[in-house]
């Protein structure tokens, strides 16, 4: 399950405790909540149902208490890569440790661009990966928590002002990242009331 991989990454790759928060919507079923509770209980991870989308801050109060409790626990956070690693080492470690890829590839033009950024003094910058949110791989159709796939870096962008390097992997639309029909299209003011938010 995808969620179990995320929990494993937070706890075992980054070394920090976590809580799973479920945005509880009116169309959710009890069976869905029970399944998530059961799977997370096996991992020893607390699950909190939150309704802040409809109840504001009050709907996230229990989640806030749970997060504060976790913050009070002693933990030793770890990082996926070292600052001194090269840009290629950084993307390789992210791909292999977080996404469970077997390898990272890039064509000669992209590799030359990465080398140029490294040589120009940007190698100490953190690496941000832009890829599909639908999979741990770069293939949106490869669901669940796949392992052994190959991550292909198809483009590299320097965000010099923000001080990081973006590795574009697979077919992904970057900022602004709006859907084809933004939610704002459904929002309106009718008789002094806002409609279409939920």
Domain coordinates in residue numbering, the chain: 2-71, 80-198
Q: What is the pLDDT of residue 178?
A: 59
Contact (CB, 8 A) for 59 and 51: yes
- Is the pLDDT at 188 greater than 70, yes or no? yes
Q: Residue 172 — φ and ψ, nearest 5°?
A: -140, 140
Q: Is the pLDDT of residue 163 over 70?
A: yes
Q: How many Å apart are CA 127 and CA 97, to the nearest integer?
A: 14
Residue identified by tokens 């483009």 is 155
Under a CB-based contact definition with an 8 Å cutoff, are residues 19 and 66 in contact? yes
Task: Give yes or no for a contact between 131 and 172, defined as CB atoms under 8 angstroms apart.
Answer: yes
Instruction: Report the chain's mean pLDDT, rounded to a whole number.
Output: 91
Q: What was the pLDDT predicted at 177? A: 58
DSSP 23-46: E--TT--HHHHHHHHHHHHHHT--
Residue 71: per-residue pLDDT: 92
More confident residue, 88 or 171: 88
Q: What percent of the chain has pLDDT over 90?
A: 72
Residues 53, 82 contacting (CB under 8 angstroms):
no
Instruction: Count Cβ neighbours within 10 Å for each residue of 100-125 and write b for 16 or more, e otherwise.
Output: bbeebebeeebeebbeebbeeebbeb
Q: Indicate the CATH number of 80-198 among 3.30.750.24, 3.30.930.10, 3.10.410.10, 3.40.50.2000.
A: 3.10.410.10
pTM of the model: 0.80
């Amino acid at each position: 399950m995808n969620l179990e991989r995320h929990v494993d990454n937070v706890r075992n790759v980054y070394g920090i405790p976590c809580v799973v928060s479920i945005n509880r919507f009116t169309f959710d079923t009890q069976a869905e909540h029970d399944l998530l509770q059961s799977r997370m209980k096996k991992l020893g991870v607390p699950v909190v149902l939150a309704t802040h989308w409809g109840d504001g801050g009050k709907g996230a109060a229990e989640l806030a208490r749970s997060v504060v409790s976790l913050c009070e626990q002693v933990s030793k956070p770890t990082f996926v890569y070292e600052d001194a690693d090269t840009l290629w080492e950084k993307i390789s470690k992210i791909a292999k440790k977080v996404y469970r890829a077997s390898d990272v590839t890039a064509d000669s033009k992209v590799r030359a661009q990465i080398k140029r950024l490294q040589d120009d003094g940007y190698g100490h910058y953190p690496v941000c990966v832009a890829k599909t949110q639908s999979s741990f791989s770069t293939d949106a159709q490869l669901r669940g928590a796949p392992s052994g796939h190959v991550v292909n870096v198809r483009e590299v962008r320097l965000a010099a002002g923000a001080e990081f390097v973006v590795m574009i992997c697979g077919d992904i639309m970057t900022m602004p990242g709006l859907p084809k029909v933004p939610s704002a299209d459904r929002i309106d003011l009718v008789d002094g009331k806002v409609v279409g938010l939920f």
